[in-house]
A and B are shown apart, each in its own frame.
Chain A
């Protein structure tokens, strides 16, 4: 489903930011994307920044500390997935320790409630700290001592409603810190976020509000010169009925008797209640699919690459994650 005008340079992207409206499966998709990239033998870091421990839940591991933890690895040394839950307090203390060697002052800051202040209210500072830590993980190289290097970092980012202020740390800070270290940190992070080595992917489902939010977010991101990646369409309904059958189902014109005969031929008793039920399911499915097709047309007009992820009838467990990762691999993610 990749549109002809835009392709994603999967190999060239170091930072994948995954956002989406609440309820669209943002965390699931971020995790599947990380697995898909790792499955090509790469070392990938999956980060979360909202204190939800969503990654730990998905992978069924203990709550993640502020420390990169390996949560999955491929067979024969083929690919490693690490995860990290970034919280602003730890990021600030680490930042202070790293750049200012604030031993005693660091503790004093905490005692006076400054850490709390900086990470909850000082506008934009929280986001600079979170994105700053992600930036640090992306930018490690051979010179970074004792630090693991990643081929790619996948960020389970805040939802679309908050993604712009979150990524656009520069403008959030601009009214406040005009100079100073926090400001230059923000500038560096912003340069990375705007580079072609970053992609902001949007998770959506084929419903009116999420698609509208996706369209709005793409516009906002482009205006802020942030690189838009793919639209990831999640929870897609299956294709059990072809177009012709769906339009017949919508018009309630499915051949009831023939269907009954088919059922009899395979030993299913076509009692009226069952037949009614099946025809009704077909009708509702066709209705939903018609709405989905309409939303799909909106998505196609957005002129971004589109990747599809199916609705798994059994819901998302670890096996389901691997299945979704495989779907992404088949659609070119590597």
Chain B
């Protein structure tokens, strides 16, 4: 949920019309679809949606690898990826047909980062970097590292897929960021950080004597030493000096990933739950993707309440329940409290569905061209392949 810092982007007037339907099966079946990225705010069911899409695609004949970020323990177990080893493995129990296959993996952020360092630097230098406390913090807790590494891993999987022809579709889950936009910004943020003025300043003493030793630098170093202590400053300088040779490589990789995301074979699905904050976040995301010319395929609204049949309104149901309560005091039947309960349950459900529908309509009024698929809330949690298969069927058929 990021606060809006840029202007709204999209049509500026329009009535609420039904959103065009998102044809998930057509998207998954299209051989031109090579990458599907599921994004959205935390807690909306991104991981489940990604896994369900991957399973469905595999069972419809695609050779799929799904990159999950932080799956629920039972779901990870049922997909055979509870071991965090950063390697895609076949999912046991996937009924892949027509030459399809399903591999899955869970992202190990730190290891991915370590591997990048190891592949870019000499063994000696890599060891030096990996041992530095600043690197360790950067690779394990820097806000944005997880997003960056998810994209790095996507790039790796894509290169593997092209080289070995092992997969023809990559499905990616995105990290549960503070802001859904973080993962688009992370590569840019990391590379601009690594390229920043301060880094160059820190590098100056290591690079050459006194070239930048202006009055300004003196003030800055003194202030830093005062606040952070001299030792921190030294650690920082060691880190930056060791990392210096890698900066170019990082920037290049970030740029490549960004281009990959813009490529025609990539498809973004924005996942949301029918809640104000999640829908607002989805709207930001849709706008941002459009501004960045990223190929947006549609919106998946998870866990939507279903309007029950019969057309009984919330008000009618509540009124009827009240009449039953009153009648009970006089000569009501034994089942009157039960029936009143059913009516109140119904009234709540209708109210919830009405609120959710309003939210979805507002989204559609602002973004009428975004194809949408709405998944009904399931009465039970999804934590095995059967559950994923059911979600996949709903995704494919809920039009």
Contacts and interface: CB of A to CB of B under 8 A. Distances in A.
Size band of the B side of the interface? 35 or more
Interface in B316-352: 316-317, 320, 323-324, 327, 333-339, 341-349, 351-352
A258 B345 contact: no
Interface in A165-185: 165, 172, 175-183
Contacts of B335: 255, 258-259, 261-262
Contacts of A284: 379
A241 B320 contact: no
Contact of B229 (A105, A159, A180, A262): A180
Contacts of B341: 240-242, 245
Interface in A239-283: 240-242, 245, 254-255, 258-259, 261-263, 265-268, 271, 273-283
A109 B226 CA distance: 13
B310 A274 contact: yes
A268 B41 contact: no
A121 interface: yes
Interface stretch (A34-42, A132-140, A145-153, A308-316): A308-316
Given A120-B193, A281-B349, A313-B355, A274 B309 contact: yes
Contacts of A262: 324, 333, 335-336, 339
B328 to A, nearest CB: 10
Interface string B196-231: 111101000000000000001101101110111111
Contacts of A208: 72, 74, 381, 383
Interface string B248-277: 000000000000000000000000010111
A258 B344 CA distance: 17
Contact of A182 (B227, B316, B336): B227
Contact of B231 (A161, A179, A279): A179
Interface stretch (B29-37, B111-119, B133-141): B133-141
B3 A105 contact: no
B56 to A, nearest CB: 22
At the interface, is chain A mostly helix, strand, loop or mixed?
helix
B3 A53 contact: yes
Nearest to A287: B379
Interface stretch (A17-25, A66-74, A225-233, A297-305): A17-25
A52 B1 contact: yes
B320 A266 contact: yes
A113 interface: yes
A63 to B, nearest CB: 6
Contacts of B219: 104-105, 108
B333 A209 contact: no
Contact of A108 (B42, B199, B223): B223
A116 interface: yes
A257 to B, nearest CB: 9
A262 B74 CA distance: 44
A123 B141 CA distance: 8
B309 A273 contact: yes
A-B CB proximity, top 9 nearest: A23-B43, A22-B42, A180-B229, A123-B137, A274-B310, A277-B308, A262-B339, A313-B351, A113-B198
26 contacts: A21-B42, A52-B1, A106-B223, A108-B220, A109-B220, A117-B198, A175-B137, A212-B72, A212-B73, A241-B345, A245-B341, A258-B333, A258-B339, A263-B339, A266-B327, A268-B317, A268-B320, A268-B343, A277-B310, A277-B346, A278-B342, A278-B346, A281-B342, A287-B379, A313-B352, A314-B351
Given A51-B178, A122-B236, A176-B235, 16 more contacts: A52-B1, A96-B223, A114-B224, A117-B193, A123-B134, A126-B143, A207-B381, A208-B383, A240-B344, A258-B333, A258-B334, A266-B327, A271-B310, A285-B345, A287-B379, A313-B348
